[in-house]
């Protein structure tokens, strides 16, 4: 039985340096070890022998006007921040942030955060601290009391307060209200309140926090967005995370697909695993790196969480469990499973697409959402349920098996319901009839059931009419997004090896296309012999991977090296030869 379905479309080096720090309030005891942020100058001596500009926490009491110190965790270790940290090259700065260089000092973060954010490229006209004071004065008056509701863009979004005091919570609300007044184009932003709350812990006053937040909102750095500001942008990032999870966390993805009604609905909450899901000590370490690397770091942390979650699940799996609640509980209790240092280490061990390539994938997912008419908040996430499982009927696969197959295809296509184009039960076994029924549609999903009851298939990225461009020869076409899979007796997906190992792309000039026979006999290198990968040429140099997996993005020896579809009057081939071709 054969079926085809469609998814439509720096600091001084020596001597004394005065930093703006708050003086202790009258009656306070010295030596509490708590750092204070404020405006009164306190002299801090930086010795020329030391290679750090450590802040003397014994003379810095109180750290933060907005913090409840009974909730605030103590720094894990003394701060060892190089005194020339701000003059370090970007890569070195990222390394220090990833290693938690300033995680041992609250005051160190308070000094670094505004300076790092000032380096963010943003729009010329961006509201600053002076604008905030003016607007806040008009909105709230001298008593700083307001009955203003929170902005509409926060509807349905959690507003975490972490370790803020009641005074800090009030300040947070004021900042968010002013953001709503000065950035009227923001319609939906789940990440924004968490960032505001975290930054407020290390801000001298509300105005500084607002200015830092404004620069992140108004960032115009190419392919390096910080904050999604609409439901469309947020949902596209959720779909992008789903694509990344599908490729980098196959075991966790399979687990979720087997237990959740909708994988997309689970992945739509990925950001909440981090904010407000993670404990404060973990969340602020993520913020350390986020300010330097942008949204890409959030994908990394969430993928590492997903991998760790899979390891925590027992042999019984998740049958009968609320997967979304399980993931949220896991994030809240992450300290029971892995330290923050180990979590970050694993996150940065994941080899992701480049920023530009992730941006391109987000734009593709955004376009798919717009084509589906999904541009504003949906009261019910019905668009996640592209396959109607209750009414699904097939003699080839069960509804549960179809749900797993549908979770494997790129997110931008899985939004759309499948349309049956061809079935041997209804259309016979003519290959020409198969071509006639499938031409004009892309992408398609091919399902094949053998006489022994085994089921396999393929996701085909291109229109079968592309075969005609080769004339009488059996030319290959398609893109590297194609993959083959098995459903029974075991469910497994076999994708192009360059998805997992992009360094296998050859760095040699492209030669003319080889004959079809040589393409079908393409050999495997020992590093690409994994049974879960399609065969590709042998490696010489690391390459870059595009989410669209087209040949133009690779240094390959042939323009056909990323083409996995072939069709003629005698039969069809999907793959590149070897044991994992259909």
**Sequential pLDDT tens for the chain (582 residues):** 555 554 333 333 333 333 333 333 334 443 333 333 333 333 333 333 333 333 333 333 435 789 998 898 887 666 678 888 888 898 999 999 999 888 888 888 998 999 999 999 988 888 999 999 999 988 887 655 557 888 988 988 899 999 999 999 999 999 999 999 999 989 999 999 999 999 999 999 999 999 999 999 999 887 778 999 999 999 999 999 998 998 899 889 888 888 887 888 899 999 999 999 999 999 999 999 999 999 999 999 999 999 999 999 876 677 667 889 999 999 999 999 999 999 999 999 998 878 888 888 888 888 888 877 776 654 434 444 456 666 777 888 887 788 788 888 887 777 777 788 888 888 888 888 888 888 888 888 989 888 888 999 888 888 888 877 766 556 677 777 788 888 888 888 887 655 455 444 443 333 343 333 333 333 333 333 344 433 333 333 333 334 444 434 434 444 444 556 777 777 888 775 544 444
Give the residue from 59, 70, 73 showing the smallest Cα distance to 24. Answer: 59
Give the residue from 450, 248, 465, 458 showing the smallest Cα distance to 358. Answer: 248
The pLDDT of residue 388 is 65
Tokens of 72: 């605030």
Q: CA of 366: how far to CAs of 86, 163, 234, 240, 487, in Å? A: 36, 35, 9, 9, 30
Residue 108 in contact with residue 102, Cβ under 8 Å? yes
Residue 416 in contact with residue 446, Cβ under 8 Å? no
d(CA 270, CA 277): 10
How many CA atoms within 13 Å lie on the side-chain side of 287? 31
Q: CA of 499: how far to CAs of 120, 214, 253, 409, 503, in Å? A: 31, 37, 16, 14, 10
The pLDDT of residue 146 is 54
Bridge partners of 483, per DSSP, are 459, 495
The pLDDT of residue 222 is 78
Residue 353 in contact with residue 547, Cβ under 8 Å? yes
Q: What one-character DSSP code corresponds to residue 514?
A: P
Sign of CA dihedral 394, 399, 405, 408: positive
The pLDDT of residue 26 is 39
Directed axis angle between helix 355-371 and helix 231-248, to 10°?
120
Tokens of 159: 């507003």
The pLDDT of residue 129 is 93
CATH of domain 231-372: 1.10.472.80
The alpha-helical segments, DSSP class H, found in 446-539 are 497-500, 516-520
This prediction has a pTM of 0.67
Strands 533-534 and 492-496, sheet pairing: parallel
Tokens of 121: 């490229």
The pLDDT of residue 37 is 37
Contacts 24+ apart (CB under 8 A), 350-353: 350/248, 350/300, 350/303, 350/304, 351/502, 352/244, 352/248, 352/296, 352/299, 352/300, 353/244, 353/545, 353/546, 353/547
The pLDDT of residue 316 is 67
Give the residue from 344, 373, 580 showing the smallest Cα distance to 482. Answer: 580
Residue 292 in contact with residue 299, Cβ under 8 Å? no
Q: Which residue is it, tokens 């094949």?
A: 448
The pLDDT of residue 205 is 92
The pLDDT of residue 344 is 95
């Amino acid at each position: 039985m054969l079926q085809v379905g469609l998814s439509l479309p720096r600091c001084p080096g020596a001597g004394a340096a005065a930093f703006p720090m708050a003086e202790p309030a009258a009656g306070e005891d010295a030596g509490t070890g708590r750092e204070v942020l404020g405006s009164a100058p306190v002299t801090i001596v930086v010795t020329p022998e030391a290679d750090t500009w450590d802040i003397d926490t014994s003379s810095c009491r109180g750290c933060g006007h907005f913090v409840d110190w009974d909730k605030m965790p103590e720094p894990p270790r003394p701060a060892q921040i190089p005194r020339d940290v701000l003059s370090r090259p970007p890569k070195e700065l990222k390394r220090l942030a990833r290693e938690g260089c300033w995680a041992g000092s609250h005051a160190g973060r308070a000094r670094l955060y505004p300076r790092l954010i000032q380096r963010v490229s943003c729009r010329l006209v961006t509201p600053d601290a002076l604008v905030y004071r003016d607007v806040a004065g008009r909105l709230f008056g001298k008593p700083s009391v307001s009955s203003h509701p929170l902005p509409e863009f926060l509807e349905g979004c959690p507003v975490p307060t972490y370790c803020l005091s009641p005074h800090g919570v009030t300040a947070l609300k004021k900042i968010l209200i002013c953001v709503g007044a000065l950035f009227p184009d923001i319609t939906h932003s789940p990440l924004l309140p968490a960032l505001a709350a975290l930054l407020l812990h290390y801000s001298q006053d509300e105005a500084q926090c607002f200015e830092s937040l404004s620069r992140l909102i108004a960032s115009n750095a190419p392919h390096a967005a910080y904050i999604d500001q609409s439901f469309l942008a947020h949902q596209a990032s959720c779909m992008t995370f789903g694509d990344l999870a599908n490729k980098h966390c196959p075991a966790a993805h399979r687990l979720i697909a087997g237990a959740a009604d909708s994988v997309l609905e689970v992945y739509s909450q990925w950001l909440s695993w981090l904010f407000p899901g993670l404990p404060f000590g973990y969340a602020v370490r993520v913020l350390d790196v986020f300010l330097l690397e942008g949204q890409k770091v959030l994908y990394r942390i969430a993928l590492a969480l997903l991998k760790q979650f899979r390891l925590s699940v027992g042999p019984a799996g998740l049958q009968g469990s609320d997967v979304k609640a399980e993931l949220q509980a896991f994030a809240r209790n992450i300290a029971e499973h892995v330290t923050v240092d180990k979590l970050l280490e694993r996150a940065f061990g994941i080899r992701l697409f480049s920023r530009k390539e992730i941006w391109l994938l987000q734009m593709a997912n955004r376009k798919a959402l717009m084509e589906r008419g999904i541009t504003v908040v949906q009261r019910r996430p019905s668009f996640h349920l592209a396959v109607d499982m209750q009414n699904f009927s097939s003699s080839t696969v069960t509804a549960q098996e179809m749900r797993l197959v549908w979770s494997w295809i790129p997110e931008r296509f899985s939004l759309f319901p499948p349309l049956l184009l061809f079935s041997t039960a209804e259309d016979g076994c003519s290959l020409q009839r198969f071509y006639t029924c499938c031409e004009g549609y892309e992408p398609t999903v091919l399902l094949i059931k053998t006489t022994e009851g085994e089921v396999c298939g393929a996701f085909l990225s291109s229109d079968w009419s592309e075969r005609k461009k080769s004339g009488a020869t059996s030319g290959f076409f398609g893109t590297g997004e194609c993959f083959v899979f098995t459903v029974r007796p075991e469910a497994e997906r076999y994708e192009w090896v360059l998805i997992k190992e992009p360094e296998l792309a050859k760095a040699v000039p492209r030669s003319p296309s080889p004959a079809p026979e040589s393409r079908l006999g393409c050999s495997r290198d020992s590093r690409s012999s994994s049974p879960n990968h399609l065969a590709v040429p042998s490696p010489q140099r690391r390459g870059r991977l595009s989410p669209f997996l087209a040949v133009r993005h690779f240094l390959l020896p042939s323009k056909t090296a990323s083409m996995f579809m072939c069709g003629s009057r005698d039969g069809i081939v999907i793959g590149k030869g070897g044991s994992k071709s259909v």
